[in-house]
Amino acid sequence: MTVLDHALAPLVDTLAVPTDLLVGGSWRPATGARRLEVADPATGTVLASVADADVEDARHALDAAAAAAPGWAATSPRERSEVLLRLFEAVREHSEELALLICRENGKALGDARGEVAYAAEFFRWYAEEAVRLRGHLGHAPSGANRILVGYQPVGVSVLVTPWNFPAAMATRKLAPALAAGCTVVLKPAAETPLTALAVAALAEEAGVPPGVVNVLTTSQPGPVVGALLADRRTRMLSFTGSTEVGRVLLRAAADNVLKCGMELGGNAPFVVLDDADVTDALDGAMVAKMRNGGQACTAANRFYVHTDVHDEFVAGLATRMGALRVGPGADPSTGCGPLINAAAVAKVDGLVQDALRRGARALVGGSAPDGPGSFYPPTVLVDVPHDAALLREEVFGPVAPVVRFDDVEDVLTHVNDTEHGLVGYLYTGDLARGLRLAERFESGMVGLNRGLVSDPAAPFGGTKQSGLGREGGTEGLLEFLETQYVATSW
């Protein structure tokens, strides 16, 4: 077996977390017999090792996905729906073990991990329901010459690439609609957090997903392995969640085979508090929008614009709440803010904070990285942040809230939209009509209007501009894994 610390070993046993590659319904070591270590970001200790796939394994996984594709596409929607419902139940049944597993390999606080598992499970239920509700349509050609009969077919073998920040939910948000649509997949989870995806894949097998329908490759060489998957003529779709930088590389690679692409990329969410907002509500929302997952979310509020009338009350409240969060290992129930994913993340976040401080910002709480062990960063509130500070332009991906004071709404809207990202924005106001008018002017795929959380399996999640292409969740998420076919006929 693999190296496991004491706390994780029983978990891995009850959940039966496999640590090999899943190819064609069997768990097997990497062809080159290499292993990849998974570390606990709270301590830096090694939790487990998983198989480290290379391009030959990628080919085997595609062989399996391609072989299983016709059979899975031919199953009835009801059959796929029932498999997904069993998978929903299986994830729910093991939710506490999965949450602890996420805490250990990702670091997030237990409450966040429990929330993630509940969210992750719901994608299976939602797409179990959507699988049997898909409808085409029938129309008349305007000329009257023929009928237009529109239906859908599974896009085919899909490559799913996911990040470390939501190790369960980012996988299920792709797996569930792909399976509902009748596609087979090769999933490549992030190297930092492969265990959760392997655990979910094992539950999928238990739920009756046939061999070859879900294949999982863990690897330390994402470039060559994903590259081999995308270069293969049998692949039809790429669904990627991760940074805009890697997304661009993969879009270029996907161009050679003209793959259908779903891209969920980085964000830079503004959080705007207007003069008429309820400050307590805004603070509740701010804590969720900023601190879910310790700030390591693509939807994380990245920059706060607060009207001068409520600014002082808001920042005082935010500093109190942020300062009260206990920093510690995610699995400790008293922890409010777990570690960042690794030491590089701490260095990046601290670099952005120090840049803002040099440019004249002031830290009300936090503001510097503690010594190790573990990759911790304290919840930080910065005020008087100038518009040229790097952390207003770049994704912070940590527990840092930079606040900018404003008095002109038109001016703040310019700042809101002055970014290449367009994933989500947040807006707090006591006047809903005013809020709706302003929300329509946000150049983002999603707006939280008097809400600090937008993620919902039933809603289309996704971004505009360089935050991505396509949507996940809702009905839209299923259409991503389908091709439209129209038949011209007359009778």
Of residues 101 and 365, the one with the C-beta less far from ligand NAP: 101
Contacts with Mg ion, 140-179, as mask; x by CB under 5 A:
----------------------------------------
Q: Report the distance separating Cα 111 and Cα 395, nearest Å.
A: 24
- The per-residue DSSP string of 124-154 comes to HHHHHHHHTT---EEEE-TTSS-EEEEEEEE
For residues 190 and 364, which CB has a smaller minimum distance to ligand NAP in the complex? 190
Strands (E), 17-116: 21-23, 26-28, 35-39, 46-51
Binding mask 93-112 for Mg ion (x = CB under 5 A): ------------x-------
- How far apart are the C-alpha atoms of 420 and 439, rounded to whole Å? 18
82-105 burial, b if ≥16 CB within 10 A, otherwise e? bbbbbbbebbeebbebbbbbbbbb
461-480 residues in contact with ligand NAP (CB under 6 A) are: 463, 468
Cβ-based nearer residue to Mg ion, 201 or 340:
340
Strand pairing report for 137-140 and 147-154: antiparallel
User: Which one of 24, 111, 222, 460 is in contact with ligand NAP (CB under 6 A)?
Assistant: 222
Site string for Mg ion, 189-208 (x = CB under 5 A): ---x----------------
Strand ranges inside 212-292, DSSP E? 214-216, 237-241, 260-264, 269-273
Q: Which is nearer to ligand NAP, 221 or 475 (CB)?
A: 221
Tokens 């959380």 belong to which residue? 453
Q: Which of residues 143-172 bind ligand NAP (CB under 6 A)?
A: 161-166, 170
To ligand NAP, the closest distance from the beta carbon of 177 in angstroms equals 14
Contact between 120 and ligand NAP per CB under 6 A = no
Q: Min. distance of Cβ 334 from Mg ion in angstroms? A: 22
Between 49 and 81, name the residue whose CB sits nearer to Mg ion.
49
Under a CB-based contact definition with an 8 Å cutoff, are residues 48 and 19 in contact? yes
Which among Mg ion, ligand NAP, none contacts residue 167 (Cβ within 5 to 8 A by kind)? none
Give the N- to C-terminal CA distance of the chain in Å, as an integer. Answer: 65
- Region near ligand NAP per CB under 6 A, out of 26-34, 68-76, 138-146, 186-194: 186-194
Enumerate the active-site residues. 264, 298
Q: If you ran DSSP here, which 8-state letter would residue 327 be given?
A: B
Per-residue contact flags (x/-) with ligand NAP for residues 368 to 407, judged by CB under 6 A: ---------------------------x------------
Residues 287-326 contacting ligand NAP, CB under 6 A: 298
Please choose, out of 18-26, 142-150, 263-271, 410-418, the segment that lies near ligand NAP by the rule CB under 6 A: 263-271
Partner from Mg ion, ligand NAP, none binding residue 102, C-beta < 5-8 Å depending on class: none
The site map against ligand NAP for 420-459 (x = CB under 6 A) is ---x------------------------------------
Q: What is the DSSP letter of 234?
A: T
Q: Of these, 21, 39, 55, 209, which contacts Mg ion (CB under 5 A)?
A: 39
Stretch that binds ligand NAP, among 124-132, 184-192, 379-387, 425-433 (CB under 6 A): 184-192
Q: At its nearest, how many Å lie between Mg ion and the CB of residue 193?
A: 6
Integer CA distances (angstroms), 348 to 22, 342, 351, in order: 34, 10, 5
User: Of 55-63, 94-102, 175-183, 221-229, which part binds ligand NAP (CB under 6 A)?
Assistant: 221-229
Size of the site for ligand NAP (CB under 6 A): 29
Coil, strand, or helix at residue 79?
A: helix
Instruction: Yes or no: say if 261 and 470 are a contact pair by the CB < 8 Å rule.
Output: yes
Q: Which helix (H) or strand (E) holds 303?
A: strand 301-307
Nearest to 446 by CA among 468, 422, 419: 422
Is beta strand 185-188 parallel, antiparallel or unpaired with respect to 158-161?
A: parallel
Residue 155: CB partners within 8 Å, gap ≥ 6?
A: 181, 183, 236, 237, 260, 481, 482, 483
Nearer to ligand NAP, 68 or 423 (CB): 423
- Between CA 475 and CA 491 the distance in angstroms is 32
Cβ contacts of residue 319 below 8 Å, gap of 6+? 364, 365, 381
Q: Choosing among Mg ion, ligand NAP, none, which partner's interface includes residue 39 (Cβ < 5 to 8 Å by kind)? A: Mg ion
Q: Which of ligand NAP, Mg ion, none does residue 222 bind to, with CB < 5 to 8 Å depending on kind?
A: ligand NAP
**By C-beta, is 222 or 351 nearer to ligand NAP?**
222
Is residue 35 within 8 Å of 49, Cβ to Cβ?
A: yes
Residues that bind Mg ion (CB under 5 A): 39, 105, 192
Residues that bind ligand NAP (CB under 6 A): 161-166, 170, 188, 190-192, 222-223, 226, 241-243, 246, 249-250, 264-267, 298, 395, 423, 463, 468
